Structure 1
């Protein structure tokens, strides 16, 4: 390693070291808590529990019987905020620090081109970010697997599972890096770039969480049961909270038009209003990957777009 790449490593070894230390700590904690989780599952205490959204209860007391998944949720939360942290503390100073101090002029005076100066720093940051985020996502998945989609564990649609695991974590981290790098090039001060990066990455993170809740990018499925036939068990589906009744013409009405759970009253009400079926909206467990790849496409696309803008602005800003 020599030249501009060696200099890039010298400048980025601190954040790289902090990231590596955080990964080691996360892996150690995951191994510890996962071992306790497996011991609890092998004890037989949860053998009578089934899948589904309803809590499993402790025999004799009726109290919910749950695994200790709070530490797992903390790791998921860390993965969710990872693009903010990387963007603010790694992306924003990546070019911004040299521009603010003027040290890039000395590097460019040594015969290094602007694009080479950028490429060496950015490529190293991308490699480290990809490795860190990918391994953190892998640790979460490994820890989560024994408790995945169980009434006593953590369902796939929990915020920390849906947004804190899978390829989305890697795409989000790269987005944070690319956003911070671009804003570091545009801003005159590193602190200003860090503030703008915090705002940009934070807003997009919250916006994507909102699209999950509203099912804006991944529409829910509609499940229909004829007449007063009870709906199939919810199981691992993520309900939207939308239930209703369907007329012979296909019109969907609110469930409160016939607010009876079952029996003759429900049948009489449906007959009187011309309803022939009931429906509810929910996202099946298979939509976990639809959410994952949709978010990955959005975040990865923005990361590429911001990187292209950075390359195009190099000559004007450096």
Structure 2
């Protein structure tokens, strides 16, 4: 009886061991990199989860307020009443998210290689465990994956929060950094470019603290340059009139961003709106306008419908620059990582 019991139960132990062995587990270089940076990775993931939960909570409060005002059936004048507390939280969140690429570049990108190069860990790993290219691929690949997961989640949550009032410039202008740089693919592209830039800086300088300081200035420069050329990603449209200037300049479509307003002449030439301001009395101003052949207004603007296309165009440029930096890191680091 006991022999039968022992015989029937014997195969169960190897089967259990086989099931345990088949469980997906990190191994090799991937396990090494994750274990080395697990505190930073788990911190980023945890903070992202908290931020996403908070933004979804704030979105629910905004929707409750709008629904109480009759949204979306009522007009904006109705459901925009008393929205200041909600718009204030939205603006502050957008402003805070703008610092995420900078923080990731400084505290994740810069020390990623610089710390190992400074301490000698890179030499130990690449001479005993793996080739430099494999070590670089694991380091950059896992870090980039964590950055993408976090920024995609933040972008999605903030975009969902802003969506109900996205066409209301009084809440938040879609061309501002708080909206344009924190939704869609832009935050992902900015974060990846800044992080890989920090990695490259750390690889060149090989000192953690100096690399972090230089990466901070690099990240700030990227933000300044990006904000300066952001609007150039769009295709400017123009509204013109030929009924005189007394009726006032035409208004662009709802949610559009007005870039410029000028006079237009009969020949189609545009003149600055201050062309005849200093001509003198009202009659002199009218005479000046007539002398210059001014027949109406010209208003240049970017429609809200271009936002997504502008974001993807800008993100594509940043992704291409990130790919170029990554290639540089591999070419430089493959021979000089030790």
The normalised TM-score by structure 2 is 0.81
Alignment of 1:19-38 (within 5 A): 19-38=44-63
Alpha-carbon displacement from aligned partner over 1:222-251 (angstroms, at most 9, x marks no partner): 2212223651454211112x2111112221
Moved more, 107-116 or 303-312: 107-116
Q: Does 2:317 match 1:298?
A: yes
Say whether 1:6 aligns with 2:31.
yes
Question: What is the number of equivalent residue pairs in this alignment?
Answer: 303
Instruction: Name the structure 1 match of 2:302.
Output: 283
Tell me the equivalent position of 2:9: none
Distance in 2 (alpha carbons) for counterparts of 1:275 and 1:198: 50
Change (3 A) 1:28 1:194: same
**Stretches of structure 1 lacking an aligned partner (at least 5 in a row):** 59-63
- The answer to whether the 8 Å contact 2:123/2:337 transfers is no
After superposition, the Cα gap between the structure-2 partners of 1:270 and 1:227, relative to the gap in structure 1 and judged at 3 Å, is: farther
- Deviations along 1:175-213, one digit per CA (max 9) or x if unpaired, are 11111111111113101111111111111111111223x
Q: Counterpart of 1:142 in 2: which secondary structure? A: helix
**Distance in 2, Cα, partners of 1:107 & 1:200:** 29
Query: How many angstroms apart in 2 are the aligned matches of 1:86 and 1:148?
Result: 27
* 1:256 to 2:274 alignment: yes
Does residue 175 of structure 2 align to residue 157 of structure 1?
A: yes
Question: Hey, what does 1:166 align to over in structure 2?
Answer: 184
Task: Give distance in 2, aligned partners of 1:181 and 1:29.
Answer: 31
Q: Distance in 2 between matches of 1:267 and 1:42?
A: 50
Distance 2:198 2:114 in 1: 9
Residue equivalent to 2:143 = 125
For structure 1, which segment, 193-202 or 291-300, has the greater mean C-alpha deviation from structure 2 after superposition? 291-300
* 1:122-271 matched pairs, under 5 angstroms: 122-150=140-168, 153-212=171-230, 215-228=231-244, 231-240=250-259, 242-257=260-275, 270-271=289-290
Deviations 1:266-309 (A, max 9, x none): 98765443223310111111221243123212321221111111
CA RMSD, Structure 1 to Structure 2 (Å): 2.6
Contact 1:227 1:275 in 2 (8 A): no
Counterpart residue number, 2:104: 86
More helix per residue = 2
Kept in 2: contact 1:129–1:173 (CA 8 A)? yes
Q: Tell me if structure 1 keeps the 8 A contact 2:255–2:304.
A: yes
